[in-house]
Amino acid sequence: MSALRKIVLSLAVLREACGAIIPPPTGQFSVSRKKVEIPYVNTGDPIAPNNVTTAFLATVYYPTSERFMGPPVPYLDPALAALFEGAYNVTAGSFANLTTNAIVWDAPLLNGTAYPTLLFGPAGIGPPVEMFSILLSDLASYGYTVIGADHPYEQPFIRWPNGTALYGLPPFDSPDIDSGALVDIRVNETKALIDNIPLIEQCLGGIVNSTHIGTFGHSAGGSAAARALLQENRVSSAVNIDGPFLDEDQYADAVKPIFLLSEEVYEDPSWVHFAPEQTGLWKHLGVNGSLHVDFTDLAFWKEVTDVKAHSSSLGDINGYRQVNITRTFVRSFFDFTLRGVPEPIFDGPSDAWPEVVYITVENSTSMK
CB-CB contact of 283 with 333 (8 Å): yes
For ligand NAG, the binding residue among 179, 231, 270, 288 (CB under 6 A) is 288
Of 120 and 329, which has the nearer Cβ to ligand NAG?
A: 329
Radius of gyration of the chain (CA): 19
* Per-residue binding letters, 143-172, with ligand NAG (x by CB under 6 A): -----------------x-x-x--------
* Span near ligand NAG by CB under 6 A; candidates 60-68, 93-101, 128-136, 243-251: 93-101
* Span near ligand NAG by CB under 6 A; candidates 118-126, 224-232, 329-337, 356-364: 356-364
The span from the CA of 69 to the CA of 60, in Å, is 20
Q: Which residues contact 86 (CB under 8 A, 6 or more apart)?
A: none
The span from the CA of 207 to the CA of 304, in Å, is 38
The span from the CA of 334 to the CA of 139, in Å, is 10
Binding of ligand NAG at residue 201 (CB under 6 A)? no
* Span near ligand NAG by CB under 6 A; candidates 64-72, 75-83, 230-238, 357-365: 357-365
- SS in 3 state form for 180-219? HHHHHHHHHHHHHHHHCHHHHHHHHCCCCCCCCEEEEEEC
For ligand NAG, the binding residue among 28, 50, 233, 312 (CB under 6 A) is 50
CB-CB contact of 66 with 30 (8 Å): yes
Binding of ligand NAG at residue 359 (CB under 6 A)? no
Binding of ligand NAG at residue 94 (CB under 6 A)? yes
- The CB-nearest residue to ligand NAG is 93
Binding of ligand NAG at residue 311 (CB under 6 A)? no
The span from the CA of 155 to the CA of 129, in Å, is 9
End-to-end alpha carbon distance in the chain: 43
* Span near ligand NAG by CB under 6 A; candidates 87-95, 218-226, 243-251, 255-263: 87-95
* Per-residue binding letters, 322-351, with ligand NAG (x by CB under 6 A): --x-------------xx------------
